[in-house]
Amino acid sequence: MNAPVEALPMAEWRRVFEVNLFGHIAVTQALLPELLRTKGRVINISSIGGKYAMATYGAYAGAKFALEAVSDSLRREVAPLGVQVVVVEPGGVRTEIAARGIATANDLAARMTPEQDRRYGDLVRANNRLMASGTASGLTADAAAQVIVKAVTTRRPRPRYTAGRDAALIMRLGRLLSDRTLDRILAANLRRHYPKGAIA
């Protein structure tokens, strides 16, 4: 659900958080007594967007940032009780999510006011192109599943696993560069996807 912060209706913000945050919490609460009894493991599927948010990804990234925080808190609560909590942070994965995301972004863009379209229309179109190209060149679903298998089966798992070269690269850059420098790099990457003649 990608749309500019200004243009995304509040009901859609709530829906994104219901699916990407509150759903995780509800399942965790329901299963935690058994996980505590069996010394089980919680694997939360986050996203590279849970650490670094791109333009128009505010709702999705916001929910994933929150999931990262909840996972950290839960890990520190239940580690002394024998339960491990692991976060998997994929980048682009070749699934149907991009096509559905682009269709939803186009639907949301069609509902923007004329002023919002002037401000953000080219940005939305550029992000759609970037999403399509990033997914096409992304990790296969099988490769992403192998990272999840590792998180599930490793005896002493790390708190976080990235999945995909793009995720690993952005994580490294994010640790090394200032926010402004990272903003410029992300903007330059996005600029290549703007419609011809558009001002990025």
List the CATH number of the domain containing 100: 3.40.50.720
**Stretch 175-187: mean pLDDT:** 92
**Stretch 47-71: mean pLDDT:** 94
Q: Is residue 4 part of a domain?
A: no
pLDDT of residue 189: 87
b (16+ CB within 10 A) / e for 130-148 = bbbebbeebbeeeebeebb
Q: Is residue 90 part of a domain?
A: yes
Active site residue 161: no
pTM beyond 0.95: no
- Longest CA span, the chain: 61
Q: Is residue 172 part of a domain?
A: yes
**Domain boundaries, position 116:** 10-191
91 pLDDT band (50/70/90 cuts)?
Answer: confident
**Alpha carbon distance 167, 75 (integer Å):** 22
Q: How many domains does the chain have?
A: 1
Q: Tens of pLDDT along 94-143?
A: 877 777 878 888 888 899 999 999 999 999 989 888 887 766 677 888 99
Q: Is residue 196 part of a domain?
A: no
pLDDT of residue 11: 95
The total of other beta-carbon atoms located within 10 Å of residue 49's CB is 23
Residue 199 has pLDDT above 70, yes or no: no
pLDDT of residue 195: 78
Residue 32 has pLDDT above 90, yes or no: yes
Selecting among 52, 60, 120, 161, the annotated active-site residue is: 60
Q: Is residue 143 part of a domain?
A: yes
Q: Is residue 1 part of a domain?
A: no
